[in-house]
């Protein structure tokens, strides 16, 4: 039982980790917490559905179009909406992401009103038995996709020039500027990367739950405790945080549900998060702020 719970916890946690990555990338670069993350995940999920089922495009074209849409959307959000707010109080930008959540939610209901939709059957439904733990092909593929995405993003941040520029921007805007990095361009890039992770996450979650606004955006917001546990500025933290939350959830419902009468999976991650924050106020890998008078 423990093996089964641990394995499924890790699988689920990987998806949370991917969502957490989206939030962390934006926060790391521009110190804005993106409240519209869940809404964007759901929007990209619907968009992918529209490409595949409504317009009947082949899979490879959908893939490319999704990347293109992520770029366009990221650009619109940063240049059109957040750029005028540079230099203004940070809370205004945060409020804008809140309003963006309404915008995306409204767009989804506007363009695709009606009952839930489904992706066509691309992944065969079967089960793999690994030493007593049953794993479905679907979760295996989603695990593989998440791991690949993480490896790609980590490679990008560590070994490419652009990734280095982003890390520089995340550390100090002034210094980055004096090194010739266009900081505002980096913001746009951060948003594009975040929306890319949203698209991947959206398609994976859409496969699990169907293309349905509430469940998909609700699941994406479960990444919040993951971000907190891992630290808001750390990519590795997002990974670890997501996995931990996945495991906490399955352990919570596996062992503690019968004690408290059910439904503990929803609140256990938050309790764990508070407990951890009391001991490590900045999360596992977050930047500790050293303040001087």
Partner 1 sequence: MSRRPSGNFETSYAQDIAICHTGFQQVVMILFLIALLIIIPLFSSSYILSVFNIIGITIIAAIGLNILTGYAGQINLGQAGFIAVGAYCCAIFTNHLHMSFWLALPLAAIITGLVGTLFALPSLRVKGFYIAVTTLAAHMIIMWLITHGGKVTGGVEGLASTPPQIGDFVFTTEQHYYFIIIGLTVLLTYAAKNLVRTRFGRAIIAVRDNDLAAPFLGINVFRYKVTAFFICAFYAGVAGALMASYYKMITPEYFPMLDSIWYIGYLIVGGAGSIVGTIFGVVFLKLLSQLVMWGGPLLGAIAPIFSAGAVSGLMQFTFGIVIIIFLIFEPRGLWHRWQIMLSSMRIWPFPY
Partner 2 sequence: MRNKLAGAFILLLVIGLVTSIACAPAATGKPAAEKPAENVVITIGDLPNLTGAYAATQSCYVESNGGAVALANEKNYIPGVTLKYEWVDAATDPAKAMTAYKKLLAATPRPAVIIDHSTAIGTALKQTAAADKIPIVEGGVSNEILIPPGWVFYYGSPYPCEAGAYADWFKSQWKESRAPRFAALTWDLPYGRAWITDESMAYIKSKGFEIVGQEFIPAVPSDTTPQLLRLKDAKVDVCFGAMYPSALAVVLKDANKLGMIGTFTWGGVYAVNLIELVGYVGPLANGCTVTSTDILPTMWKEKAPLMQENWDKNGAKLAPATQFAFANAAERVVIGIGAIKSAVEKVGAKNVDGQAVYNALINMKNFDPWGTGAPITFSETKRYGQDTVFITQVQNEKAIQLGTARVPDLLPGGKDVPAK
Binding test (CB under 8 A) with partner 2, winner from 55, 86, 92, 106: 106
Q: Which does 85 bind (CB under 5 to 8 A by kind): partner 2, partner 1, none?
A: partner 1
d(C-alpha 45, C-alpha 206), whole Å: 6
Q: Which does 271 bind (CB under 5 to 8 A by kind): partner 2, partner 1, none?
A: partner 1
Q: Which is nearer to partner 1, 134 or 171 (CB)?
A: 171
Binding test (CB under 8 A) with partner 1, winner from 58, 110, 126, 178: 110
Cα–Cα distances (Å) from 267 to 252, 260, 273, in that order, read 9, 11, 10
- Quick one: DSSP state of residue 232? T
3-state secondary structure of 130: strand
Determine, following the binding rule CB under 8 A, whether residue 210 of this chain makes contact with partner 2. yes
d(C-alpha 12, C-alpha 6), whole Å: 10
Determine, following the binding rule CB under 8 A, whether residue 244 of this chain makes contact with partner 2. no
Task: Report whether 13 contacts 83 (CB < 8 A).
Answer: no
How is residue 128 written in tokens? Answer: 């793999």
Binding test (CB under 8 A) with partner 1, winner from 202, 230, 254, 283: 283
Question: 127 to 146, contacts with partner 1 by CB under 8 A?
Answer: none
Cα–Cα distances (Å) from 48 to 14, 18, 103, 202, in that order, read 21, 18, 18, 9
Question: 32 to 61, contacts with partner 1 by CB under 8 A?
Answer: 33, 35
d(C-alpha 45, C-alpha 65), whole Å: 13
Question: 252 to 281, contacts with partner 2 by CB under 8 A?
Answer: 253-254, 257-258, 261-263, 265-266
d(C-alpha 150, C-alpha 161), whole Å: 18
**Contact set with partner 2 (CB under 8 A):** 1, 4-5, 8-9, 11-12, 15, 105-106, 109, 113-116, 118, 121, 125, 127, 134-136, 138, 208-210, 212-215, 218-219, 222, 246, 249-250, 253-254, 257-258, 261-263, 265-266
């Amino acid at each position: 039982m423990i093996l089964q719970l641990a394995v499924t916890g890790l699988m689920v946690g990987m998806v949370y980790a991917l969502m957490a990555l989206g939030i962390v990338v934006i926060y790391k670069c521009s110190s804005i917490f993106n409240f519209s993350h869940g809404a964007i995940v759901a929007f990209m999920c619907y968009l992918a559905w529209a490409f595949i089922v409504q317009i009947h495009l082949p899979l490879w074209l959908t893939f490319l179009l999704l990347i293109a849409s992520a770029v366009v959307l990221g650009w619109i959000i940063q240049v059109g909406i957040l750029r005028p707010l540079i230099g203004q109080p940070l809370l205004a930008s945060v409020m804008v992401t809140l309003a963006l959540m309404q915008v995306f939610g409204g767009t989804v209901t506007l363009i695709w009103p009606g009952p839930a939709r489904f992706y066509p059957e691309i992944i065969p439904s079967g089960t793999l038995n690994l030493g007593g733990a049953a794993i479905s092909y679907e979760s295996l593929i989603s695990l593989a996709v998440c791991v690949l995405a993480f490896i790609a993003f980590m490679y990008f941040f560590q070994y490419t020039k652009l990734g280095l520029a982003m890390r520089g921007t995340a550390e100090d805007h002034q210094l980055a500027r004096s090194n010739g990095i266009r900081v505002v361009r980096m913001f746009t890039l951060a948003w594009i990367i975040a929306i890319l992770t949203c698209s991947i996450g959206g398609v994976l979650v859409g496969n699990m739950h169907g293309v349905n606004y509430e469940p998909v955006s609700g699941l994406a917001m479960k990444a919040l405790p993951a971000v907190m546990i891992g630290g808001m500025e750390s990519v590795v933290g997002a990974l670890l945080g997501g996995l931990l939350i996945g495991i906490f959830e399955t352990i919570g419902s596996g062992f503690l549900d019968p004690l408290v009468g059910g439904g503990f999976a929803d609140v256990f991650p938050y309790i764990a998060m508070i407990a951890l924050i009391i001991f490590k106020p900045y999360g596992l890998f977050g930047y500790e702020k050293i303040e001087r008078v």
